[in-house]
Amino acid sequence: MNTSPIAFLKGHGTENDFVIVPDPDNTVDLPASLVARLCDRRAGIGGDGVLHVVRSAAHPEARPMADVAEWFMDYRNADGSIAEMCGNGVRVFARYLQRAGLVGEGDLAVATRGGVKRVHIAKAESGGDTGDITVSMGRAVLPGGDVKVSVGSREWPARNVNMGNPHAVAFVDDLEHAGDLLTAPPFSPASAYPDGVNVEFVVDRGPRHVAMRVHERGSGETRSCGTGACAVAVAAARRDGADPAVTGEPVAYTVDLPGGRLVITERPDGSVEMTGPAVIVAEGTIDAEWTAPGQ
Q: Is 86 a catalytic residue?
A: yes
Q: Length of the chain, please?
A: 295
- Annotated binding residues for substrate: 16, 77, 87-88, 165, 198, 216-217, 226-227
Q: Is 39 a catalytic residue?
A: no
The dihedral through the CA atoms of 137, 236, 78, 148 has a sign that is: negative
Are the C-beta atoms of residues 184 and 200 closer than 8 Å to each other? no
Q: 21, 85, 149, 225: which is the annotated catalytic residue?
A: 225
- Annotated binding residues: 16, 77, 87-88, 165, 198, 216-217, 226-227
How many Cβ atoms are within 10 Å of 188's Cβ, its own excluded?
A: 14
d(CA 287, CA 225): 30
d(CA 219, CA 26): 24
Cβ within 8 Å of residue 270, ≥6 positions away = 139, 140, 244, 245
Q: 86, 151, 168, 199: which is the annotated catalytic residue?
A: 86
Q: Which are the catalytic amino acids?
A: 86, 225
